[in-house]
Structures are given as structure tokens and as C-alpha cells.
């Protein structure tokens, strides 16, 4: 099983929400998956999407094809394609995205470049996603604590 963050523990057992590790895979393979589509998948199918690797070119292709097939079978329509960023911001250890800086500053927190560079790709991805205004960013403070930024 992949790694879940502590701030996700309230839904890990049921997988009622899309965990960050799956969201990272979605961005990696260029799929926008709606929560309603996620809910149409069986618990085992969701677990498979958690566990299935999505790093190499062939893994990304396999993940994408499986996900599109499952969504089409369960929801009746394919998931939306997203452009794949060849240089996603969460891989950049030299720049903290403005949106993330603003979100943490609203909490009275400062993330230094040294702290940012020491985070894993998954941790940087989570902070970026949790920083977006359209996301319920109630988990950003727990994430900052979990990642030892505060």
C-alpha cells in the first residue's frame, strides 16, 4: 500500500476521498477525476489505484488506461483529459509557488526555501494542492505540522 499522510487518516479506511498519492498520479497521467466518478469505483478498484505504480512511462500509460476503462465502465463517461506538465511545480526545489506562500502566510507561517527543498515530491505536491483556493484547505495546517515546517 502507498503512503497516506496523517492529515488524510479520517478517510483512509473507506477511501471516500481521493488521497494525495492518487491525486499525484492523476496529474502525472493527465486525468481529471471527479469525486463522483471516484465514488462509483469499488473499494477494491480504489485500492488498486492507490497501489498501482505511476512513475515510469509504461506505468503511467498502464495507470491511465486502467483508470479510463474503470471510469467509463462505472460512470458511463470517460474522465476528462488534462495536459501533462513536463516540469510540474512540485518537482522544483528552488522555488516555492506563490499560491503556497500566500496560503501559509495567511496562517502566520513562513516556509523557507531550505524547508521546501527538503520536502519530498509528495509533500510539496500536497502543500500546493492544499493551497488552492478552490480546495478545502483545512488540512494545510495539519500538513505543515506533519511535514515539520511548524
Cβ pair 123, 147 in contact under 8 A? yes
d(CA 6, CA 119): 15
Nearest-CA neighbor of 34 among 76, 65, 62, 1? 76
User: Strand runs (DSSP E) across the chain, as ranges?
Assistant: 31-32, 80-81
Given this model, what pLDDT does residue 135 score? 56
- Residue 137 is predicted with a pLDDT of 63
What predicted TM-score, i.e. pTM, was given to this entire model?
0.92
pLDDT in tens, the chain (150 residues): 458 999 998 887 889 899 999 999 999 999 999 999 999 999 999 999 999 999 999 999 999 999 999 999 999 999 999 999 999 999 999 999 999 999 999 999 999 999 999 999 999 999 999 998 665 568 899 999 999 999
Q: Are the C-beta atoms of 102 and 131 separated by less than 8 Å?
A: yes
**pLDDT value, residue 43:** 94
Q: What is the pLDDT of residue 1?
A: 42
Nearest by Cα to 19 from 138, 122, 149, 124: 122
Domain boundaries of the chain, sorted by first residue: 6-81, 89-146
State the pLDDT at residue 18: 94
Report the distance separating Cα 135 and Cα 150, nearest Å: 21
Determine the pLDDT at residue 32.
96
Amino acid at each position: 500500500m502507498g503512503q497516506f499522510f496523517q492529515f488524510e487518516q479520517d478517510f483512509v479506511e473507506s477511501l471516500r476521498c481521493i488521497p494525495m498519492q492518487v491525486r499525484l498520479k492523476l496529474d502525472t497521467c493527465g486525468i481529471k477525476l471527479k469525486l463522483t466518478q471516484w465514488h462509483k469505483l469499488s473499494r477494491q478498484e480504489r485500492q488498486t489505484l492507490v497501489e498501482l505504480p505511476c512513475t515510469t512511462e509504461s506505468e503511467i500509460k498502464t495507470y491511465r488506461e486502467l483508470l479510463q476503462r474503470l471510469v467509463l465502465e462505472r460512470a458511463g463517461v470517460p474522465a476528462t483529459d488534462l495536459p501533462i506538465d513536463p516540469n510540474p511545480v512540485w518537482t522544483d526545489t528552488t522555488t516555492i509557488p506563490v499560491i503556497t506562500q500566500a496560503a501559509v502566510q495567511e496562517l502566520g507561517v513562513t516556509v523557507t526555501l531550505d524547508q521546501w527543498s527538503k520536502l519530498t515530491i509528495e509533500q510539496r505536491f500536497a502543500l500546493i494542492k492544499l493551497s488552492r483556493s478552490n480546495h478545502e484547505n483545512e488540512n494545510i495546517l495539519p500538513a505543515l505540522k506533519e511535514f515539520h515546517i511548524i
